[in-house]
Structure 1
Amino acid sequence: MSSIFYVLSDSVGETAELLAKAALSQFSDQNMKIQRIPYVDDEATMVDAFNLAKENNGMIAFTLVKPEFRQKMKDLSNQFQVRAIDLLGPLLEELEDHLQKKPTLQPGLVHKLDEDYYKRVEAIEFAVKYDDGRDAKGILKADLVLIGVSRTSKTPLSQFLAHKRLKVANVPIVPEVDPPEELFQVPAEKCIGLRISSEKLNHIRTERLKALGLDGSANYARKERIQEEIDYFNKVVEEIGCDTIDVSNKAVEETANVILRKIKK
């Protein structure tokens, strides 16, 4: 004889359904079907579920975080003489006792955490795709645009902020290349210039060239060339009208925190 296993949840009900499937898989030759009833937030829906279970020789499992809802399910189980298993309540009670903390009792937090994870992954992929001015289209799609001369930590900063779920594009500023038009189309508050002293940049670039086995006196690290780039950067920043942050003596994390505080304001 077939019957239906009703799974009720105050969220989407995936947890309850997965547990029901896992349990049913241990019984061969059974033809019990699973029917999910999500977003249960009132007594009428619970009563309807028990009526259905009664009519279809079924049983119920539920994941409801509110204690009053769980108690109501137990009362209805006795009233309708239908089996109803609380999949979440006993675990919440044991955790509360062990942690000596009250649960938030907010439905759907698992899926909010999942959503948070996917937003972070999406932001990281965005940062990679629109790194170093590869595609100017990203400037208009970004939550934040970083601009600066070479070796001002634009890429690691973009990645760090991506882990905070911010979609960041970064654009190198080079005297010989006109900045993309899109850079002047985004609101100035969405753009941040990364400023650095010529002395610090000279040191960074010289060490970088040496690490690559190249001559540390190459044009890339010459003080005259660096000053030319900084002057051009200042001109672009003034035209955009965006804020700047001096990264000369800041770690990536410090700069990121300054940016996050600016965004909050």
Structure 2
Amino acid sequence: MNPNTFYIVSDSVGETAELMAKAALSQFLNSEMRIQRIPYVEDVATLNETVQTAKENGGIIAYTLVKPDFRKHLQARADEANVIAMDMLGPIMDHLQGYLNEEPILQPGLVHKLDEDYYKRIEAIEFAVKYDDGRDAKGILKADLVLIGVSRTSKTPLSQFLAHKQLKVANVPIVPEVDPPEELFQVDPSKCVGLNIEPEQLNHIRHERLKSLGLDGSANYARSERIQEEIDYFNKIVDHIGCRTINVSTKAVEETANAILNTIR
């Protein structure tokens, strides 16, 4: 009897083995084999049933089972039943174990966990870009974390750094001439962090920023009186919200980010 079903057995989703099976079958133009996944295998009874079904239907089996005892059991039952069974993961893991001189952790589904983490990180990065610098106040209520501070307190690089930790961060600039968005006063204070800075340090940073842009360092933006006015207004907003603050004067972005993570956790 010609085999007509390709059974894909996995203790996770089974996507890896299915893709490999499809790639192999694509080389046989006259093949009409169908592929049937048997995912999330948790017991030997399912393995036995799959072997029996493959035998009755004249099918073959490919498997990506992380647990060695499951692999041995399925292969043994398939050999007894004269059913072709191909281990698509075990040999690679065995070679890697010898090459890396490290024991595998034997936990199913880690590939998909890594994929999930990757997409969460990308989503958080896109969120940080969309709601950077108070562009859209709607993001304040959607965010995992809201950063507020005067200009040049590293709000944007902090938002991006924390996004790589899968946090959705919105940041809002605090400027005396502009009323903060109403959403800022509706957010849970525990989700809001104010970025404080010493006036002298901010003065130096702004002077350097103006120089890098080829502008006069005596502009109002870098004047000590203006900076103090902004910081006083920032403190007023922080008191109104009731949120915590972190002094970023002498901290690198990574240090501030770690301080924030420790605070919100």
Question: Into which bin does the TM-score normalised by the smaller protein fall?
Answer: over 0.9
Look up the match of 1:131.
Answer: 132
**Which amino acid in 2 is paired with 1:60?**
I
**Deviation (angstroms), 1:169:** 0.4
Of all paired residues, the percent bearing the same amino acid is 72
Look up the match of 1:11.
Answer: 12
Look up the match of 1:190.
Answer: 191
Q: Say how many residue pairs are matched.
A: 264
Q: Tell me the secondary structure at the aligned position of residue 126 of structure 1.
A: helix
Range that drifts further, 181-190 or 63-72: 181-190
TM-score normalised by L of structure 1? 0.96
Does the 8 Å CA contact 1:2/1:31 hold for their aligned counterparts?
no
- CA deviations on 1:209-256 (whole Å, 9 max, x unpaired) are 222122211111111111000000001111111111111111111111
Residue 255 (1) aligns with residue 256 (2): yes
Q: Tell me the secondary structure at the aligned position of residue 210 of structure 1.
A: helix
Look up the match of 1:39.
Answer: 40
Does the 8 Å CA contact 2:3/2:60 hold for their aligned counterparts?
no
Alpha-carbon separation, structure 1, partners of 2:151 and 2:32: 65
Alpha-carbon separation, structure 2, partners of 1:21 and 1:11: 18
**Which amino acid in 1 is paired with 2:67?**
K
Q: Tell me the secondary structure at the aligned position of residue 230 of structure 2.
A: helix
Does the 8 Å CA contact 2:147/2:193 hold for their aligned counterparts?
yes
Look up the match of 1:233.
Answer: 234
TM-score normalised by L of structure 2? 0.96
Look up the match of 1:83.
Answer: 84
- CA deviations on 1:43-88 (whole Å, 9 max, x unpaired) are 2221221122112211000000011111110121023211111111
- Structure 1 outlier segments of 4+, above 3 Å: none
Residue 215 (1) aligns with residue 222 (2): no
Range that drifts further, 39-48 or 68-77: 39-48
Does the 8 Å CA contact 1:189/1:242 hold for their aligned counterparts?
yes
**Which amino acid in 2 is paired with 1:129?**
K
Look up the match of 1:103.
Answer: 104
Instruction: Give the alignment of 1:60-209 within 5 angstroms.
Output: 60-209=61-210
Alpha-carbon separation, structure 2, partners of 1:89 and 1:263: 42
**Which amino acid in 1 is paired with 2:117?**
D
Alpha-carbon separation, structure 2, partners of 1:257 and 1:183: 23
**Deviation (angstroms), 1:2:** 5.5
Look up the match of 2:22.
Answer: 21
Alpha-carbon separation, structure 2, partners of 1:142 and 1:86: 45
Structure 1 pair 83/64, CA: closer, same or farther in 2 (3 Å)? same
Structure 2: gaps (5+ residues): none
Alpha-carbon separation, structure 1, partners of 2:264 and 2:104: 31
Give the CA RMSD over aligned residues: 1.2
Alpha-carbon separation, structure 2, partners of 1:216 and 1:175: 21
- CA deviations on 1:188-211 (whole Å, 9 max, x unpaired) are 111110001111111111221222
Alpha-carbon separation, structure 2, partners of 1:151 and 1:243: 19
Structure 1: gaps (5+ residues): none
Alpha-carbon separation, structure 1, partners of 2:124 and 2:258: 17
Range that drifts further, 171-180 or 205-214: 205-214
